[in-house]
Amino acid sequence: MKGFFIVTLILLASLFTAVFAEDPDYGSTWETAELITPDSTLYVGVLGEGDQDWFYFPQTGNNRYRFTITNPQSGYKVMKVYLLDEFNILKEMVSLSAWTNTLQSQPFFEYDYDVYIQVYNTAGDYSIRADYLGNTPPDMYMNSCVDTADEIIPTTDPLNPIAPTVGTLDHLDPDEYDTDWFYFQTQPLHKYRIYKTHASNSNVWFRLYSDACGQLSGNTSDFTLIPWYGDDYRLLLEGDVNRYGNYYTVEIIDLESYTDDHGNTYDAATAYEPDVTGELFANIDYEANLGSDLDWFTFTPTANTLYRFTNKHLAGGYITMRVYQENEFGERIEQCSVSAWNEVRQLTAFFEYARPCYVRFEGVVDEYSLTIETVETLTDSYSNDCEFASELLVGELVGGTLVHDSPYDVDWFVFQTQPLHKYRIYKTHASNSNVWFRVFSDDCQQLSGNTSDFTIIPWYGEDIKVYLEGDGNRLGNYYTIEVTDLESYTDDWPNTWDAAAEMPKDGTEVDVFFEYDANIGTDEDWFTFIAGQDGVYHFMLGNPEGGYDTMRIYRVNEIQQLIEVTNQNAWNQVREFDVTLTAGVHYIKMMGSGGCTISLVSPEPRCGDLDHPYPMSDANRDCVVDLLDVAVMAAEWLTDTNP
C-alpha cells in the first residue's frame, strides 16, 4: 500500500509539471535563447502566463528563410524574427501574429548576423519552424540605364512560363546603394504585365523607362504596358537602403495582342468631314497603365465657324472626347473636352482660323460614336466704343465673336429699359471660348464686375450698356447675349435720399415693404426728418420675419454730403434704440427683404405735451388761436357740455 501511495504522488507531480511548466523549457531572454537548426525541424512549446520563448541560429549572409508559427488556440501568439547586429542590438525583421491558424514569412538576410526568434503573448501551446530556402549571392546587374546589358525575356506561353528574374540590392558599394537595370523587347499592340515580388523584410520597387532612358512610370510593383510600335523598354529596380536585405523577383508576361481601328497619334488620324461623314462608330480596343488605345480624327474647319461635337457612349465607364486645333506654330492646343458615361454629351467650338483640328477619344474599352456638325459661320461688326454702342433689343438673342484685331476685339451693346422693370442679362459662350461681360451706365460708368449672368432693376428707365470682352489667348471666342424683361414692380416709398418721404417724429409706426431685388437696383426706402434740437432720439425697427432688415441713419454735413451716424439690424425681432443727434436734417435708409415697421420719437417740445399745453381758446388743437377756433365755438355753441 505504501508503494502504491508513492507511485501516485509521483504521477500527480508529473501531471502538475506538465500543466504548469514548459516542456521543453526554452530560454526566456535572447541571451539564453535555444539553439535550433533551420532544417524544417518542428519546435513545440507552451507559453505560461507572461512568458516568452527565445530561439536562435547562426547564418552566413545572403540567405533566404521561411519562418512558420502555428497557434491552435484563441488569443494571439506573436513570433518576431531579429538579426543581432555588430553592436549586439536586435533588429526586427519579421513579425507574425497567429490566432487559431498558421502564418509564414520569407525574409532575406544580406548580413551574416545571427538570427533570433521570440515567441510571446497569450499562454498556451504553439509550434515554430525555420526552413533554409537558399543562398542568393550579390548579383552583377548594371547600375545605370545606358549600361543596361541584362535582358528579361517575357513569358509568351502560360503553359511554359519563363522563370522570374531573381536579384538582390546590396550594400557592397559604401558610396552608392545598389540598383539593377534590365531591358526587354516587345511586339506592337501586345499587352505586357510587369510584376515584382520581394522578401517579407525587403522593400523593392521598379520604374519603367523608354529605350532612350526616359522615365515612363512612377514607383510600382505591378504594371501593364501596350507598346504601339514594338519598342524596347528598360526597367529600374530600386530599394530601401535601410533594409537588412532586399531580395526580389521580377517577371514579364505577354498577356494578349490587339488590332486597332483608328490611329493612336495625331499624324495617323482618320479624316472626318463635318456634315458629310455623319455619325462615325468606333471602339476603344484596349487599355493598360501605359499605352491604352487612343483614337484620333482630323478635319480642317472653315474660318470663323461654330461647330457642334457629339460624343455618344451608351454604357458604363467614361469615354472622353478632346478637341484640339493647331496654333500659328503648328502646335496642337486643346480647346475643350467632354466625357460620356451611358449618355450623349455635346460641346461647341468656334474656330477663328482655318487651321487643322483634331478630335481624340480615350477611356474604357467600349464602342462610342462621333458626330461633327456645322452650326454657323459668323463675323460681326459690333461697336468697340462705349459711346457708340450697338443696339441690343430686349428679348433678342444675339450671337457675336471676338477676334484677334489689334488691339484685341471687344463688343459694346446698349438696351433701353422701363422704370422698375427687372432685366436679366445672360451670356453663353462656345466650349473652347472664354467671354464675360460688365454692366455700365448710359454715360459709361462701370456698374458691375466680370460676370455671365446679371439682373438689374433701373429705377428711372435709363439706358444700360453691356461690355463684352474675352481671353485673347483663345483660338476662338464665340458668345451669345440676351436681355430678358422678367417682371415689373410698384414702389411704396422713394428709392433715393433726394426724394425721401417725411418721417413722423411722434412715434407713429410706418410700414415698409421691400418689393424687389436684383444684382443692381434692389429696393431701398428713404425717409427724412429735421432734428429740431440736439438730443437723444428714440427709434424702433420691427422685423417679424427671418432675414436681416437694416436701418441706416445719416446726417447732412456743411457741403450737403450724407454722413452715416449709425446702423441697426433686426432679424425676427423688434429693436429699440436711442441715438444722439445734432440739430439739422437727417435721413433714414431702409434695406432688407420682406417688410418691417419703423418709428421715431423726437425729444423736441411739442404743443399739447405735458410741458406745453394747448393755448387758451385753442378749440381745434392746432396750437394757434384764430378765426378757426371762433368757428368751432360757434358750431358747438348750443351743445350741452354737462356730464
Domain range list for the chain: 30-135, 150-257, 266-377, 390-488, 497-601, 618-642
Query: Which residue(s) pair with 566 in the sheet?
Result: 553
Mean pLDDT computed over 52-60: 97
Same fold, 266-377 and 390-488: yes
Q: For position 148, what pLDDT does the model report? A: 87
Q: For position 23, what pLDDT does the model report? A: 52
The residue ranking higher by pLDDT, 1 or 216, is: 216
Q: For position 610, what pLDDT does the model report? A: 60
Q: For position 321, what pLDDT does the model report? A: 98
Mean pLDDT computed over 111-137: 97
Query: How many angstroms separate the CA atoms of 173 and 245, rounded?
Result: 15
Residue 399 CB burial class (10 angstroms; 0-12, 13-18, ≥19): middle
CATH of domain 497-601: 2.60.120.380
Query: Which residue(s) pair with 316 in the sheet?
Result: none
Per-residue model confidence as pLDDT tens digits over 331-374:
999 999 999 999 999 999 999 999 999 999 999 999 999 999 99
Arithmetic mean of pLDDT over the chain: 93
Task: Give the CA radius of gyration of the chain.
Answer: 45
Query: What residue type is assigned to position 239 of the chain?
Result: G
Q: For residues 147 and 61, is the Cβ–Cβ distance under 8 A? A: no
CATH topology for 30-135? Jelly Rolls (2.60.120)
Q: For position 14, what pLDDT does the model report? A: 38
Helices (H), 183-278: none
pTM for this prediction: 0.80
Q: For position 381, what pLDDT does the model report? A: 87
Residue 412 sits at φ, ψ, to 5 deg, of -115, 135
Q: For position 5, what pLDDT does the model report? A: 39
Q: For position 622, what pLDDT does the model report? A: 79
| pLDDT at residue 69 is higher than 60 | yes
DSSP state of 27: B
Mean pLDDT computed over 510-518: 96
Mean pLDDT computed over 436-448: 97
Per-residue model confidence as pLDDT tens digits over 456-503:
999 999 999 999 999 999 999 999 999 999 999 999 999 999 999 999
SS3 per-residue string spanning 398-458 = EEEEECCCCCCCCEEEEECCCCCEEEEEEEEECCCCCEEEEEEECCCCECCCCECEEEECC
Q: For position 538, what pLDDT does the model report? A: 97
List strands edge to edge, sheet with 464-470: 390-391, 411-415, 464-470, 435-441
Q: Quick one: pLDDT band at residue 532, thresholds 50, 70, 90?
A: confident
CB atoms within 10 A of CB 219: 10
Residue showing cell 480615350 = 362
- Using CA of residue 19, residue 21, residue 25, residue 27, what is the dihedral sign? positive
CATH topology for 390-488? Jelly Rolls (2.60.120)
CATH topology for 266-377? Jelly Rolls (2.60.120)
CATH 2.60.120.380 fits 150-257, yes or no: yes
The pairing of beta strand 270-271 with beta strand 295-299? parallel
